[in-house]
Amino acid sequence: MAQADPNKPLDGFLAGVREMEARYADTYAAVSDHVKNPRQLQLRKGLAADFAFRLGSEWELFQHKWHVVAIAAAPDSFVKAQQAILDTGVRKGNLDHFVQLLHGAPLSIPAKPKQGEIEALLDPRGFNVTFDSCETWATEASRDLDTRYADKVRGIVATAPDACVLDLLKAIRNTLAHGSGGRLARLNQMVKERTSGSKIGLTGSVNAGLKRDTNQVRDVAVYLHGRATGTARQRVQVLSQRLREIAEQLRV
């Protein structure tokens, strides 16, 4: 059996993002002209929003894949934690005698579970692993992953200019998906300059082009389509580049 390699889903994700960037540029050029045309402008804004939504979706899927493969590559910590959960459940349910009678031996988690088994243990409903926030990602990485992989996640989460971009991406995706006032309010918190002592908002000169401190974001597509401060690129393009840079830090 081939050794699980977390760099493989990473390479696939990065290649996919570059392909999305190229497709976005080509499609954007196809609906652009040198004459002011409200319909074409609306289409271009829509393309920016669609690109960002897909970035957020692909990032969540990648996090799931990388987490599972990282467990498979070094499963000892995960197996130990899952075995403890199983043993506790059997004891609390007073099921030892049933297990002994029907199974003939204590129940045990496979020492080297397959990726499908890992996914089933993480969520028996068959859903992908998702993380509500960067802090949740770091906590679950510490619980499930070998130190060499968990340290990669913790390093990203502990670096505020990186973690804030991931939180912004999630806020953008949620706002585009749900369109609620609460989601938009959260997004507006995320695009502001972070204040001292806060964990909400953007920080770091590398993210200057994504900030919007003066005006509120009323239309996500307008924000994403707008030019990033100090560059000729749109914010969605800066967001995509930053996502690639952050993801690359997971390489082992």
pTM: 0.91
Q: Is the pLDDT of residue 102 over 70?
A: no
Q: How many CB atoms lie within 10 A of CB 9?
A: 21
| Domain-embedded: residue 231 | yes
| Tens-digit pLDDT profile for residues 183-221 | 999 999 999 999 888 889 999 999 999 998 788 999 999
Please say whether the beta carbons of 146 and 99 come within 8 A: no
pLDDT for residue 107: 65
| Domain-embedded: residue 101 | no
What sign does the dihedral 175-177-181-183 (CA atoms) show? negative
| Domain-embedded: residue 174 | yes
Please say whether the beta carbons of 81 and 88 come within 8 A: no
Q: Highest-confidence range of 54-63, 103-112, 209-218, by mean pLDDT?
A: 54-63
| Domain-embedded: residue 104 | no
pLDDT for residue 79: 94
| Domain-embedded: residue 230 | yes
**Residues of the chain above pLDDT 90, percent:** 74
Structure tokens at 210: 């994504």
| Tens-digit pLDDT profile for residues 139-158 | 999 999 999 999 999 999 99
| Domain-embedded: residue 118 | no
CA–CA–CA angle 25, 10, 4 (5° rounding) = 155
| Domain-embedded: residue 112 | no
pLDDT for residue 100: 54
| Domain-embedded: residue 243 | yes
Count the domains in the chain: 1
> Mean pLDDT of all residues in the chain?
90
pLDDT for residue 112: 93
pLDDT for residue 3: 85
In this prediction, residues 128-134 reach a mean pLDDT of 93
In this prediction, residues 241-250 reach a mean pLDDT of 98
Lowest mean pLDDT among 35-44, 126-135, 222-231, 242-251: 35-44
Which residue type is seen at 203? T
pLDDT for residue 110: 85
Domain that holds residue 170: 7-30+37-74+160-248
| Tens-digit pLDDT profile for residues 7-35 | 999 999 999 999 999 999 999 998 887 66
Tokens 């924000």 belong to 223
pLDDT for residue 99: 47
